Structure 1
Amino acid sequence: MPNIILVGPMGAGKSTIGRLLAKELRLPFRDSDKEIEQRTGASIPLIFDVEGEQGFREREHVAINELCQIDGVVLATGGGAVLRADNRQVLCAGGRVIYLCTSVEQQLDRTSRDRNRPLLQAPNPREILTNLMAVRDPLYREMADIVVQTDERPPRLVVVEIIGQLQALAPRESLGRSALS
């Protein structure tokens, strides 16, 4: 089974949908940000404070390289993982890439109370998200095998859509028992 790699902006639902998708497909779930936190013993905001975004991106690159070597996992990536060309190559080679697409409005709603988003700890988060989307959306789309809209949709419905689209791309046998029923 190829890996299923979720990309998209913060607040798109990569972690939530990834966990549900992994459970449905009976695959392990991994989150690159959580891996970095476990390896360093520090939160993402603390890493940003101490090492800056560049230091975090280096750690992210190492984690993504290692996680993409594992077979048969659902992997949620950080929103900025696609900024590095070498990350994009590793992710595309590492499995099926699914872009969880969401609006800036939905991102604001989903992240407004989350203090673990270092890039949003600024006076105008809407402007930041809009600027990030302008740069990152073309990268997400360029590498995606599947694009799924998550705005105002229950995560379980998004999972059903992803499984349906994965089945259209690959032989049914490769998607696990529960995905076929």
Structure 2
Amino acid sequence: MKIVLVGYMGSGKSTVGKLLASDLNLSFLDLDTYMEQRLQKSIPTIFNENGEIYFRKMEHLLLKEILESKENFILSTGGGTPCYSGNMETIMDGTADVFYLKLSIMGLVNRLTPEMAGRPLLKNLSQEELPEFIGKHLFERNPYYAMAKHTINCDGKAPSEIVDQIKSVI
């Protein structure tokens, strides 16, 4: 069983993924963490030293590596992962169990505001700019996220509720 979680940054992919993996007794993989371990650099350092093009290239290669493995797992992707390098097609070729964790713009703003400094794409924005930035990104990324077989509306739901909803579908 391979389950892949997609969605915008801050949508709860890692939190839900860890809980789901624990419930199902499966390995949990976070694509960003996997990349940091393999490249021995943090995501902000990769962006700063090598740029986004290099980051996206490595993200694609490591995503393929994980999906082609024979192991059962829950995989949390980065927010932009599905939108580059044919990654959403790669994900869907690797498993049918793809879940889009969907939140409203304001739900994402509330989650991401305290984390802005640690997020490479947000660190140079003001709090006032954040809603428009997220809205624009969601508009651009939604066609990719919408390709997921399952969409879970996550606004107002606890991670455990989202896990239960995913388990009811698989």
TM-score (norm 2): 0.92
Tell me whether 1:158 sits opposite 2:159 in the alignment. no
Q: What's the CA shift for 1:32?
A: 0.3
Output aligned runs, 1:2-151, within 5 Å. 3-70=2-69, 71-95=71-95, 96-114=97-115, 115-121=117-123, 122-123=125-126, 124-142=129-147, 144-151=148-155
Cα distance in 2 for residues equivalent to 1:149 and 1:157: 11
Task: Return 5+ residue gaps in structure 1 as ranges.
Answer: 167-181
- Match of 2:7, as an amino acid? G
* Contact in 1 for aligned 2:57/2:85 (Cα 8 Å): no
* Contact in 2 for aligned 1:44/1:116 (Cα 8 Å): no
Cα distance in 2 for residues equivalent to 1:141 and 1:153: 20
Q: What's the CA shift for 1:85?
A: 4.8
Q: What's the CA shift for 1:149?
A: 1.0
The one-character-per-residue Cα deviations of 1:50-103 (angstroms, maximum 9, x if unpaired) are 112111111111110111112311000001011125211210011111000011
Task: Return 5+ residue gaps in structure 2 as ranges.
Answer: none
Give the match's secondary structure for 1:47.
helix
* Contact in 2 for aligned 1:7/1:99 (Cα 8 Å): yes
Q: What's the CA shift for 1:29?
A: 0.3
Worse-matched range after superposition: 94-103 or 122-131: 122-131
Give the match's secondary structure for 2:52.
helix
Give the match's secondary structure for 1:147.
strand
Query: Root-mean-square deviation (CA), in Å?
Result: 1.2
- Match of 1:159, as an amino acid? V
Cα distance in 1 for residues equivalent to 2:45 and 2:133: 20
Cα distance in 2 for residues equivalent to 1:45 and 1:129: 19
Structure 2 match to 1:173: none
Aligned residues with identical type, % of pairs: 37
TM-score (norm 1): 0.86
* Contact in 1 for aligned 2:60/2:85 (Cα 8 Å): no
- Match of 2:67, as an amino acid? C
- Match of 2:134, as an amino acid? L
Worse-matched range after superposition: 18-27 or 86-95: 86-95
Structure 2 match to 1:170: none
Give every structure 1 segment of 4 or more consecutive aligned residues whose post-TM-superposition deviation is greater than 2 Å. none
Cα distance in 2 for residues equivalent to 1:85 and 1:148: 24
Worse-matched range after superposition: 4-13 or 100-109: 100-109
Paired residue total = 164
